[in-house]
Every structure is written in C-alpha cells, then in structure tokens.
Amino acid sequence: MSSNRTRRSAGRDYTRRLLLQSGTVVFLLALWLWLSYGLQIDPIYVPGPDDLWTRFRQMSGQLPSALFYSLTIIIGGYVIGSGVGILVALIMAYSVMVRESIEPVINVLRPLPIFALIPLFLLWFGVGYGSQIGLVAFGCFVILVVSTSEAIKNVPRIYSNAARTLGAGRWQLFRTVVVPAIIPNLVGAMRVAAAQSFGLDVAAEFIGAQDGLGYLLINNSSYLNTDGIILIVIIYTILAVLLDRIVAASTSRLIKWADRTEH
C-alpha cells in the first residue's frame, strides 16, 4: 500500500515537472513569435523562425564539418580533463599530504579566467587541436578538482570516527567512507564540466580555428548575423543537453552504489 502511494506520488511529481517545463518552452516560443511577428522588431535584434531557417539552409554545407571539429575538441578535452581531474581528486581523497600540497595550487587556479590562458596555450601547444583540446581539458580538470576538494572537506567526521571504531584501516576507510561520500559531488562536478566544456570550446576556437561551431559563432558575430548566432547557440544547447543526459545515465549506477555503501 505504501509503495503504491509512493509510486503515485512520484508519478504526479513527474507529470507536474513535465507540464511546468513544457509550459515554459511554449511561453518562450510564443514570446519569440510575438516579438518577431507581432511587434515586428528589427530582425537584427530578434530574428524570426523563418530567418533562422534561411540561415540554416545557407550554413548547411558548413555545419557537418563544424560539428565534427567542435565535438572532437569538446569530447576530447572533457574526457582528458575529467579523467585526470578524477584521478587527482581520488589521490587527494586518499592522501592528506597530497591534498595539502595541491590545495594551494587549486586555490590559485580557481578564480583564474580561462581566456587569460589562451596566449600561454598558443605558446605551449601552438595553433590547432593540441592547444584547443588542452584548454577545454584544463577547464574541466579545474572544475572537478575544486569540487572534489570541497567534497572531501565536507565528509562528516562522524562517519570516519565510526569506521575507525569498528576497526577499519586506511584503505578500507577510503573505499567505504570517503569515496561513497564524495561520489554525488564528483558526479555533479562531471555534469558541470560537461556543460562548461561547450563554453570552453568557444574560447578554445579563438586559438586559430578555421572550422567549428565556435568559429562560426565568432564569424557570425563579426558580421552581426543575429540569426546565425542564435542558430549556433541552439545547436550548442541541444548538444549540451544530450551530453548531460549521457553523463547522468552513465553515472546513475555509481550514485546507487554510493548510496548502498553509505547505508
């Protein structure tokens, strides 16, 4: 009986969220149509759907190669940066000495604007994929290490003390207490990094790119092609949502394992 009520409640919550989200999308679309056709605002400020369709047809020959170029940078940088970030984060979780050594560096990197590093990446890696993937990887690495460092600090001491009382050694304490406790934050950081990797891609494509969505965005901005800018932003948004869903689905078992281990 209780489980049936829980399922019905969950179903109602899901329906309510779906209706609210759908309503928001419909409202924004209606507002867009009203601004572009009702008020007839200059297309340079608010282009209509027909303007976007025309621009899409004009850019259709460029988009496949631009998508491939940008996705190579985004996925390559995300995988490398996240992989190294997770490894460093887990080492920090296991070793107090490593954590105390790295934390000052993290505190310096935390507020550093990514655009300020573009000249350095150009100097170190040259123009092309190396510097662009490196910039995205660095941004993802910082997000994961900073978030995980904070998560380690916030692990309740009562968990560690209870495990030690039961005779847990250092490795067992790390595996059964610290790692499960930081997994939700780690997964959250992975999703944040996945979203940020698209913004980092735009920054990366400032480094001498001759193709890619970021290059097209910069090019359209130079000529005040608002319809082209909005079209590319929509493509970036769709790709970002897809990558977020993939990361969420691929880490769901990790979250369940952490919950089982903690309880």
Q: Is 36 exposed, middle or buried (0-12, 13-18, 19+ CB in 10 A)?
A: buried
What pLDDT was estimated at residue 34?
A: 86
* Domain extent listing, the chain: 1-41, 48-262
| pLDDT exceeds cutoff 60 at 262 | no
What pLDDT was estimated at residue 77?
A: 92
Measured CA to CA, the distance from residue 197 to residue 77 in angstroms comes to: 8
pTM, two decimals, is: 0.80
Measured CA to CA, the distance from residue 81 to residue 172 in angstroms comes to: 28
How many CB atoms within 10 Å of residue 94? 18
pLDDT tens for 44-61 read: 788 888 888 888 888 888
Cα dihedral 84, 73, 75, 107 in deg (nearest 10):
40
Best-predicted range by mean pLDDT (57-66, 88-97, 254-263): 57-66
* Phi, psi torsion values for 191, nearest 5 degrees: -70, -40
Mean pLDDT throughout 235-241?
Answer: 91
Q: Are 218 and 35 in contact (CB under 8 A)?
A: no
pLDDT band at 131; cut points 50, 70, 90: confident
Taken in order 67, 72, 76, 77, is the CA torsion positive or negative?
Answer: negative
What pLDDT was estimated at residue 7?
A: 59
Answer left, alpha or beta for residue 126, where phi above 0 means left and psi between -120 and 50 means alpha: left
Measured CA to CA, the distance from residue 219 to residue 19 in angstroms comes to: 38
Instruction: Work out the mean pLDDT of the chain and round it to a whole number.
Output: 81
- Among 6-10, 12-16, 39-43, whose mean pLDDT is lowest? 6-10
pLDDT tens for 196-207 read: 898 888 888 877
Fold held by 48-262? MetI-like fold (1.10.3720)
